[in-house]
Structure 1
Amino acid sequence: MVLKCGQDDGPNRGTYGKLICTNFKISFLGYCASEEEPLFKNKVIGENDITLQCVDQLYGIYDDRRKPLCNQLRRYPEKIIIHCKDLRVFHFCLRYTKEEEVKRIVSGIVHQTQTPKLFKRLFLFSYATAAPKETEIKNQTVMFDTIKDWRQELERTKGNLKFKAVSANEDYKVSKKLPPYFVVPMAVSEESLLEYQGKGVPIWCWSCHTGAALLKMSAFPKEQDDSASQMQKIFLEGMYKTVNKPPYEAMKLEELSSSLPSLQDIQTAYTRFKQLFLVDNSSDFWDTDVKWFSLLESTNWQEIIRRYLRKAIEVIDLLEAQNTNVLLVEENASDLCCVISSLVQIMMDSYCRTKLGFQSLIQKEWIMGGHAFLNRCNHLRQTEREEVPVFLLFLDCIWQLVQQYPPAFEFTETYLTVLSDCLYIPIFSTFFFNCQHQHDTAVTGGSCDAESSPLSFISVWDWSVQFECKAIALLNNPLYAEKPKLDKIQRKTTKFKHQRQLSLPLTPSKPPPKRGFFKEETDQLIKNILGKRISRLITSSDELQSTSREFYDNWHSKPVDFHGILLPRLEGPGIRVWAQRYLRWIPEAQLPGGGTIAAATTILDTMEDVQGLQKKVDESHSQVASSEVETPPLMRNEDRRRSSLFPFALLQRHSLKPVLPTSTWKDLGSEEDLASRDDDFVEIGDV
């Protein structure tokens, strides 16, 4: 029995209830029934539920001091604070709990969340033994687990003329990190795939309408002896010659590890960034209010997003304007390659901006692409160095596009927020394996016995497991500008024109424009004077100017085609904070009746009114118009409860912002001391 405290509740205030810890989640069951149900109810995870994988940090309060909780506890805390990976913060007061119960619950939570786990001990496996068998429905997400799926994707993108789907890895003979089926250039032989376990072989991602293709490749390890290094060099040269022959276009290599922020940079930036949102109380929130933007900039998270989007634009320039194949190179081609290849397809292929297309893209590039979700999310609590939010970085980049071009996407920002939460729900197998081989081995239990029943893992794409129909509707964008379907005659007449609308005309590549507005010497002088912060901004703008500035500026000078290429705005306020995900649990940050949800609600109400009036016009078209026509209400009563935190929270209580920042009045000392002090003498000087 514990007391769940709010951010500003005193030691004797809160909700009394029972705290439970299982091998699935930590749950609080309050005795006081909540006044209203959440508007966006999840059937799997309740408002007061925390899955074990979602726990980020545990803290104990000892004599008003906060200390991290570890496995070896000499003394039990008066209060336990849980920081979650979805940025919720829970406070549980243990002062009124029996000593034996305190020991049991604290030890249980620490053991379940801090102790390294065995892979087969994850709740995912316990649930899979009892889960219902998945039923395949038509028009579902393409899983890319059959060679047929890959061939259909080749046909859809017109890549089947130069590339082929292979089944050489069907029994994982080539590599355990590669999927059973993938696509390579026509000229690549099966012997080449087997020679170095798929390393050094260009693997197809997507084909552009110009004929150029996006490929990726696992690089050979840098530290090799001379003989092995020489053999690998000869192999790579032979592979490049094979791919560079007609009918293939010229190829440009993009070494992502050297041109983009590293995994360590991403991890460091996000660790700083999330601290801005893990708020323990209102005082902490208002303390950071005055310097919030400088703190945000110092995390470097927004700059990393900008650099990844910029790299995607550079790749699109090569594919679209320069008609050049692009080969993304990374050590295992399963981290930075996943981000850039996915962003390029989202920006260039309108199909990937539909809900099913986006889910199919994640299956192709991330799940089958071998992104190590188990390690990157640290589900086993064994590899803290490898815990890097690469997939979250990708979703944040997509959110930037969604908020800049809402009609171009069939899904909403709520969909992206929910998807980020699904990383930590251990009943879905989608984000809990390092590769497809690990998944397939887990399904069969590692046995070759045909009679043994395989485990039944659930895919995260079955949204009905988590939400009712009314909640699922919030994942779909009603303002999506659906692509008009043209008949065959119209397609033939407008084909060339449509390609011109999609992109710039295909012109030979021009030499890069001069750097910025300043000469080299002046540029260096300004950098020295203004310091590193301004230097970074100058450098970041010059990077794009020296590569794809003309392409970027030319695209932004034309009207946006929501079914063509989309290029995000990178300058200044173009890159924003994903407020719905990061601020949704902070009552002080909400805008009652405001934010993007207020604008969307107004538009939806207007659309509903227009549809209602149109229906009445259609019904009374053959009749005499009646003077007693009821006009539907423009303001919905239930919408008044909504805020910028919708749909994740009802309108919450605000804490009053202090007239002076908290840090300022703390420096003034106590009230008694302030009252007894003389006024400071200030010389005004001559008037």
Structure 2
Amino acid sequence: MGGAPAACAGGRRRSGSPSRRLFPRVAASQGGGMLGKGVVGGGGGPRAPKPSFVSYVRPEEIHTNEKEAAEKEVTLHLLPGEQLLCEASTVLKYVQEDSCQRGVYGRLVCTDFKIAFLGDDESALESDIVSGIIHHTLAPKLLKRLFLFSYAAAVHSNTPTNPQNHTVMFDTREDWCWELERTKGNMKYKAVSVNEGYKVSERLPAYFVVPAPLPEESVSRFQGHGVPIWCWSYHNGCALLKMSALPKEQDDGILQTHRSFLDGVYRVIHRPPYEMVKTEDLSSNFLSLPDIQTAYSKFKQLFLIDNSAEFWDTDIKWFSLLESSSWLDIIRRCLKKAIEVTECLDAQNTNVLLVEENASDLCCLVSSLVQVMMDPHCRTRAGFQSLVQKEWVVGGHCFLDRCNHLRQSDKEEVPVFLLFLDCVWQLVHQHPPAFEFTETYLTVLSDSLYIPIFSTFFFNSPHQKEANVGGEGRDAHGAPLHLLTVWDWSVQFEPRAQTLFQNPLYVEKPKLDKSPRKGTHLKHQRQLSLPLTQAKSSPKRGFFREETDHLIKNLLGKRISKLINYSDELQDNFREFYDSWHSKPADYHGLLLPHIEGPEIRVWAQRYLRWIPEAQILGGGTVAMTSRLLGMMEEVRSLQEKVSERHLHQRALQAEAPALPRSSARLSSLFPFALLQRHPSKPVLPTSGWKALGDEDDLARREDEFVDLGEV
């Protein structure tokens, strides 16, 4: 999210002083702490309707003794291909506090990649910086004018990637075959190359997987629409598939062709009693993209705080504003839908077909959540990154439009991928030992959506990327452009910072005992594919059964799922499945379900609150708990070393510990993004609500009594 400490941020209006608008809020953020090294982009979703960044403090009103003269001018560090666009030589930067009488003078510069503040001793105030920032951050752009291409052209094409990175990119047929073999899906599905060179569809990847009996010519018949595409297979043989809907047509001849085509496709994946399928039409009976857009637009306003007075004023009505945004309710609905699909795959032994208009938004979200819940491999860092590549990047999610990188259409800007990360955070928060990565990793990943160095999240499809990189695109050495992937984290962070991505509480999967045990054996896959309940009769007249032609015309496209019989006991099955799982101890390397009751769905504080100093819990929060647990783990390891007298091995074990300070009192709940510093806890509230809690000064003294930060 935005809202980092910025130059000339809004302060408290001084008595008798006229207000002076210097420049509006701009799309920049500034990290603090260990991970604040690079430029981090703002959150996705719709922006505020108009600029609201106001300064009420004149530079001449600041005490002159607070202006520190720099011994030498600070130079601006530019990345390869980065160009300076405009700058203001004298700007005041201050941290959001109750009294805005302390600050630092310096230069504010705007490049084609970042907005940066440099402390120096210049004195002339430039005014063209306002229009420059607005133009280069908010004005519509062309794709080739993104810094992504300038950087790639300036960097040598043979930039090596991290050799320890085992992320599967799914840009070759071999990658898909590997995934089929890993999930045992190769028994019923096959990887096809019918779309090589994007001859069939520019929306589909060059390689993907379809049911083995499906003829490849069926894929090209309607440019990939109406074809079930494989996402993932469960260990019992059931599979998760997705399908983009056929467009609506009014011509009876085309309608009949569509009906015959879908009928044949359906018979491939629905063959009772061994192969059952249920269809989830996400375009008609789930969330809509405008719902997500509206909810996030309201939700993010809670975190665009300019000063302490505004923070405390918002704090009084926090829960009512949070509820009215409906963002947490949307997260709950996404998790519930994923659990419903999981119940079909696990308890009912039924294939699930997700249907959406283009199968590139809600299909990506639901299918990814299902795999995180059911596949422990997706809860490792490499597995999660491979999942994002498969379902989102190669799967054709329109990152360029949904993140509005070109600032061309606010209507298309919907934070679907951020919603997915928020849902994953709920799982990480509820089941920490099940995940190899941390919430800090998820936070940094959400920031990387807006860093125009990596190509991962800046295209609408693999075809668009290939079309804009190949051909005339050349770097400074004349070689084809090499666009970096975000998964090479060494480009952004040093090894010490990357240790914060690794969850020290992760429970690794125990090694399997390969010795045969009496009375236990793995069930054959075909046996596991049998339905647990009485088989349902197959639909009459194929896919469309007894529906009239008029009804078929209305249901083609977005409403295919209405044509499948759903069990009337869906809610009962869901509740029984949900309660039964939560009544047992969690298996961190098996099926994993979240709690979705009201209080269990929470705000992702580290991401949304990290730039608000008043929201920090000094010496507390989950970071403090993790720090104490790590301390206990280190003590246990030390005792084990002494008992076994392996002193030489002790250094290696200590080197594996994350880079966290030993004393939790020196940490903030928003570590590593927030700077550890004291902030006045006295609220600036002209209301009677706070007065009812007692004297403000007395309350501030009582709060400080429980926190001893020591030397910082």
Q: Please indicate the TM-score interval, normalised by the length of the shorter structure.
A: 0.7 to 0.9
State whether residues 46 and 296 of structure 2, in contact with CA within 8 Å, keep that contact through their aligned partners in structure 1. Answer: no
Q: Residue 245 of structure 1: CA displacement?
A: 3.5
Q: Residue 509 of structure 1: CA displacement?
A: 6.8
Alpha-carbon distance between aligned partners in 1 of 2:605 and 2:404, rounded to the nearest angstrom: 25
Q: 1:203 to 1:651 in 2, by over 3 A?
A: same
Alpha-carbon distance between aligned partners in 2 of 1:469 and 1:157, rounded to the nearest angstrom: 32
What aligned pairs does 1:335-414 form with structure 2 within 5 A after superposition? Answer: 335-414=361-440
Q: 1:247 to 1:190 in 2, by over 3 A?
A: farther
The residue that corresponds to 1:656 in the other structure is 681
Q: Residue 193 of structure 1: CA displacement?
A: 0.8
Alpha-carbon distance between aligned partners in 2 of 1:269 and 1:53, rounded to the nearest angstrom: 12
Alpha-carbon distance between aligned partners in 1 of 2:472 and 2:687, rounded to the nearest angstrom: 58
Alpha-carbon distance between aligned partners in 1 of 2:612 and 2:52, rounded to the nearest angstrom: 21
Alpha-carbon distance between aligned partners in 2 of 1:3 and 1:548, rounded to the nearest angstrom: 48
The residue that corresponds to 2:140 in the other structure is 116
The residue that corresponds to 1:528 in the other structure is none
Matched, 1:441 2:441: no
What aligned pairs does 1:26-37 form with structure 2 within 5 A after superposition? Answer: none
Letter in 1 for 2:137: T
State whether residues 162 and 248 of structure 1, in contact with CA within 8 Å, keep that contact through their aligned partners in structure 2. Answer: no
Matched, 1:480 2:512: no
Alpha-carbon distance between aligned partners in 2 of 1:566 and 1:128, rounded to the nearest angstrom: 40
What aligned pairs does 1:69-218 form with structure 2 within 5 A after superposition? Answer: 101-102=126-127, 104-132=128-156, 133-135=158-160, 137=163, 140-218=166-244
Q: Residue 222 of structure 1: CA displacement?
A: 3.0
Deviations 1:356-395 (A, max 9, x none): 0000000000011000000000000001100000000000
| SS, match of residue 365 in structure 2 | helix
State whether residues 321 and 506 of structure 1, in contact with CA within 8 Å, keep that contact through their aligned partners in structure 2. Answer: no
**TM-score, normalised by the number of residues in structure 1:** 0.76
Q: Residue 50 of structure 1: CA displacement?
A: 6.1
Deviations 1:324-381 (A, max 9, x none): 1100000000000000000000000000000000000000000110000000000000
Matched, 1:644 2:669: yes
Tell me which of the two structures has the higher relative contact order, counting C-alpha pairs closer than 8 angstroms and 6 or more residues apart: 2
Matched, 1:603 2:629: yes
Q: Which moved more, 1:251-260 or 1:345-354?
A: 251-260
State whether residues 59 and 80 of structure 1, in contact with CA within 8 Å, keep that contact through their aligned partners in structure 2. Answer: no
Q: Residue 618 of structure 1: CA displacement?
A: 1.7
Alpha-carbon distance between aligned partners in 1 of 2:621 and 2:167, rounded to the nearest angstrom: 32
The residue that corresponds to 1:220 in the other structure is 246
Q: Residue 291 of structure 1: CA displacement?
A: 1.7
Letter in 1 for 2:355: V
The residue that corresponds to 1:680 in the other structure is none
RMSD: 4.0
Q: Which moved more, 1:385-394 or 1:182-191?
A: 182-191
Letter in 2 for 1:603: L
Of residues 602, 607, 615, the one that matches 2:641 is: 615
The residue that corresponds to 2:7 in the other structure is 4
Letter in 1 for 2:467: T
Of residues 464, 472, 497, the one that matches 2:490 is: 464
| SS, match of residue 457 in structure 2 | coil
Q: Residue 636 of structure 1: CA displacement?
A: 5.6
Letter in 2 for 1:44: G
The residue that corresponds to 2:319 in the other structure is 293
Letter in 2 for 1:647: P
Identity %: 59
| SS, match of residue 275 in structure 1 | helix
State whether residues 400 and 406 of structure 2, in contact with CA within 8 Å, keep that contact through their aligned partners in structure 1. Answer: yes
State whether residues 176 and 437 of structure 1, in contact with CA within 8 Å, keep that contact through their aligned partners in structure 2. Answer: yes
| SS, match of residue 144 in structure 1 | coil
Q: Residue 246 of structure 1: CA displacement?
A: 7.0
Alpha-carbon distance between aligned partners in 1 of 2:642 and 2:621, rounded to the nearest angstrom: 33
Deviations 1:4-36 (A, max 9, x none): 346647789xxxxxx99xxx99699xxxxxxxx
Q: 1:97 to 1:188 in 2, by over 3 A?
A: farther
**TM-score, normalised by the number of residues in structure 2:** 0.74
Q: 1:543 to 1:291 in 2, by over 3 A?
A: farther
Alpha-carbon distance between aligned partners in 1 of 2:663 and 2:187, rounded to the nearest angstrom: 55
Q: Residue 559 of structure 1: CA displacement?
A: 1.0
Deviations 1:624-671 (A, max 9, x none): xxxxxxxxxxx966543211111111223323344x94344899xxxx
Alpha-carbon distance between aligned partners in 2 of 1:580 and 1:329, rounded to the nearest angstrom: 34
Deviations 1:415-438 (A, max 9, x none): 000000000000000000000001
Q: Residue 593 of structure 1: CA displacement?
A: 0.8
Matched, 1:44 2:38: yes
Letter in 2 for 1:357: G
Alpha-carbon distance between aligned partners in 1 of 2:569 and 2:271, rounded to the nearest angstrom: 31
Alpha-carbon distance between aligned partners in 2 of 1:574 and 1:185, rounded to the nearest angstrom: 38
Q: Residue 549 of structure 1: CA displacement?
A: 0.8
Letter in 2 for 1:122: L
**Unmatched runs of 5 consecutive residues or more in structure 2:** 16-21, 58-90, 97-113, 537-567, 648-659, 692-712
Alpha-carbon distance between aligned partners in 1 of 2:594 and 2:217, rounded to the nearest angstrom: 42
Q: 1:372 to 1:490 in 2, by over 3 A?
A: farther
How many residues matched?
577
Q: Which moved more, 1:242-251 or 1:584-593?
A: 242-251
